[in-house]
Amino acid sequence: MKSFFDFLLKKEIIGPVIIVAIGFLLNKVIKFIVNKIFIHGKNTYEQKRRKTIVDLTTNVIRFFVYAIMFILILDIYGVDTRSFIASLGIAGVVIGLALQQTAQDFISGIAIITENYYVVGDLVTINDFTGEIVELSLKSTKIKSISGEVLVIANHNITSVINLSQERAGIKVDVPTSYEEDSEKVEKVLKQVVEQAKKIPNVYGDSKYLGMEDFKDSAIAYSFVIFCKQSERFDIKRRVLKLVKEFYEKENIKIPYEQIEVHNGKSIV
């Protein structure tokens, strides 16, 4: 029995067990501390941003802890870790040259987080693809559209982002209206539409009618803007468009179809 315990207490046996146990415990403690520092936020958006930072921070720390554990275990078994670390440095230079694009992804990933481009859960448009951020790492971003398609894009390829999940959104609505309609009547009706829209939940009181926007081929475009909660913008836009149609029908205001005037000499057909 004594020889059995002597065997278990040999540094080659007990050492790696202790190192692994300490490494596991250290990861847990670090994750707990990082959560305590970053996880709280004033609103849902800030909480999502902090959670993303926590996930990335703990993943990076976990990598370094595992690397240190591996080196310590090698040292127990008599491996010359100094030459090993030096070899890792040389290999790191070679790998770094070979993986410059990956390094660019990592740098871009850090910039995305620190510059607050977006976080997991945000609705964004990247390269004409709109969807929810479902996964964000230092190397790539994964976006899922409302219809289920998933786009995985390397972080260094993300040059511009439209974040649709900020707290406040402005919805500009252009309403095509027949040239024959009285402009004062149209403006009065659209102002009523805006006032009615303000009663919709999550629509802000500074929404307003803007005026004539453009003279189009078959219609005059009248515009107004609705300010609302970002996450509700699509539903609110649908409800506002329905209001416009209901008010126009009630007041017999025409939204024209596309028209073409055909000239035959001096007469118009």
pLDDT at 38: 61
Q: 14-28, 61-75, 214-228: which has the highest mean pLDDT?
A: 214-228
Range(s) of the domain holding residue 241: 168-250
pLDDT in tens, 32-85: 777 776 655 555 556 666 666 677 677 777 778 887 888 888 777 777 666 666
Same domain, 172 and 202: yes
SS3 of the chain: helix, strand, coil, percent, to 5: 50, 20, 25
Same domain, 159 and 173: no
Domain assignment of residue 48, yes or no = yes
Contact indicator for 12, 76 with CB cutoff of 8 Å: yes
pLDDT at 32: 78
CATH number at residue 211: 3.30.70.100
Same domain, 172 and 237: yes
pLDDT at 245: 94
Is the per-residue pLDDT at 184 higher than 60?
A: yes
Domain assignment of residue 53, yes or no = yes
Q: How does residue 183 score in pLDDT terms, banded at 50, 70 and 90?
A: very high
Domain end position, chosen among 68, 98, 128: 98
Same domain, 19 and 77: yes
pLDDT at 252: 93
Domain assignment of residue 256, yes or no = no
Cα 27 off chain centre by: 28
pLDDT at 240: 94
pLDDT in tens, 252-269: 999 887 766 666 655 544
Domain assignment of residue 261, yes or no = no
Domain assignment of residue 109, yes or no = no
Same domain, 181 and 235: yes
CATH number at residue 35: 1.10.287
Same domain, 203 and 232: yes
pLDDT at 249: 93
Which residues make Cβ contacts (< 8 Å) with residue 38, sequence separation at least 6? 50, 51, 53, 54, 57
The CA distances from residue 103 to 138, 144, 256, in Å, are 9, 25, 55
Compute the distance between CA of residue 27 and CA of residue 12 in angstroms, rounded to an integer.
Answer: 23
pLDDT at 246: 94
Nearest CA to 173 out of 252, 98, 227 is that of 227
Domain assignment of residue 105, yes or no = no
Is the per-residue pLDDT at 161 higher than 90?
A: no
CATH number at residue 150: 2.30.30.60
Q: How does residue 224 score in pLDDT terms, banded at 50, 70 and 90?
A: very high
Domain assignment of residue 267, yes or no = no
Same domain, 203 and 241: yes
Same domain, 184 and 243: yes
Same domain, 33 and 87: yes
Domain assignment of residue 258, yes or no = no
pLDDT in tens, 90-108: 555 555 544 566 667 777 7
Same domain, 91 and 140: no
Same domain, 7 and 88: yes
Start-to-end Cα distance in the chain = 111
Average pLDDT, the chain: 78
Cα 21 off chain centre by: 37
pLDDT at 238: 93
pLDDT at 182: 93
Q: How many domains does the chain have?
A: 3
Range with lowest mean pLDDT among 66-80, 187-201, 202-216 = 66-80
pLDDT at 99: 52
Same domain, 139 and 217: no
